[in-house]
Chains A and B, each alone.
Chain A
């Protein structure tokens, strides 16, 4: 399964990708903002994205890919430091399938990832 990890922090991308690799998700691709992420969507089957990023933020990126019929059903997990209820509701409304609030443990990350993968 090809997983796209979108975060403006290289450190956070590194941590997320290590956790994914440790759990058996070895096919990963990275992007540091929404614009870059859109250009890397080909073949992607799961998206993990941050919210607060420069150039194009995570919510705008989610809206963009949900408008594209080719990616309308790709599962999306938002991983962000913003855990306010209002923001979580807005993200889910725009098509995010699950939500992780930073800081997170590897166990939480993998649990949420597995929760959005179709059986």
Chain B
């Protein structure tokens, strides 16, 4: 997977947070994830399916982050991950996936995106189908943390191997 494809997702995260939440997050690094356990208390995953690209993207949030996002988006302060917060998290991931899809489409890599699935609970699992490596991108936003997971398979030969990307700061 070429580095620019990861940047499509990062760009979508920045645009979504800046427009809907008033400030952009900071990315903290990049690594490959070797297991399925989520880092947050609530996660949302969206699948991609197309002839030239398929996979999934997930965002996982600690409770504190999810509650803060919900409060900023809706003006409603809550203290648990109820149905409304789950809906907010699903919608944020939907907007990010749509933003990334738009950038891929401009490069001729069209795919459909699924409806978001939301999972709640300590140590829940996030399953990305297939054996494609999972790229893990941690972020901080307004003192809160969250991570994005990307598992994307492009048909054809990647310009550089994905393991090489993991050690790069871009």
**Do the beta carbons of B91 and A9 come within 8 Å of each other?**
yes
Residues of B within 8 A of A82 (CB): 98, 101-102, 113
Which of A53, A86, A102, A105 has a CB less than 8 Å from the CB of B105?
A: A86
Instruction: A81 to B112: give the CA distance in the assembly, Å.
Output: 12
Instruction: A9 to B113: give the CA distance in the assembly, Å.
Output: 16
Instruction: A10 to B85: give the CA distance in the assembly, Å.
Output: 10
**Do the beta carbons of A105 and B98 come within 8 Å of each other?**
no
Which of B15, B16, B99, B115 has a CB less than 8 Å from the CB of A8?
A: B115
Does B20 interact with chain A (Cβ within 8 Å)?
A: yes
Categorize the interface residue count of chain A.
20 to 34
Residues of A within 8 A of B95 (CB): 81, 102-103
Does B64 interact with chain A (Cβ within 8 Å)?
A: no
Give the B interface residue count (CB, 8 A). Answer: 26
Interchain residue pairs with CB less than 8 A apart (16): A11-B88, A12-B91, A14-B74, A15-B73, A53-B115, A80-B98, A81-B94, A81-B97, A81-B101, A83-B98, A84-B106, A86-B105, A102-B16, A102-B99, A103-B19, A103-B95
Residues of B within 8 A of A14 (CB): 74
Residues of A within 8 A of B110 (CB): 84, 86
**Do the beta carbons of A84 and B87 come within 8 Å of each other?**
no
Given known contacts A11-B87, A81-B99, A52 and B19 CB-to-CB distance under 8 angstroms: no
**Do the beta carbons of A104 and B19 come within 8 Å of each other?**
yes
**Do the beta carbons of A52 and B90 come within 8 Å of each other?**
no
Interface flags for B19-41 (1: CB within 8 Å of A; 0: not) read: 11000000000000000000000
Does B123 interact with chain A (Cβ within 8 Å)?
A: no
Which of B15, B99, B115 has a CB less than 8 Å from the CB of A52?
A: B115
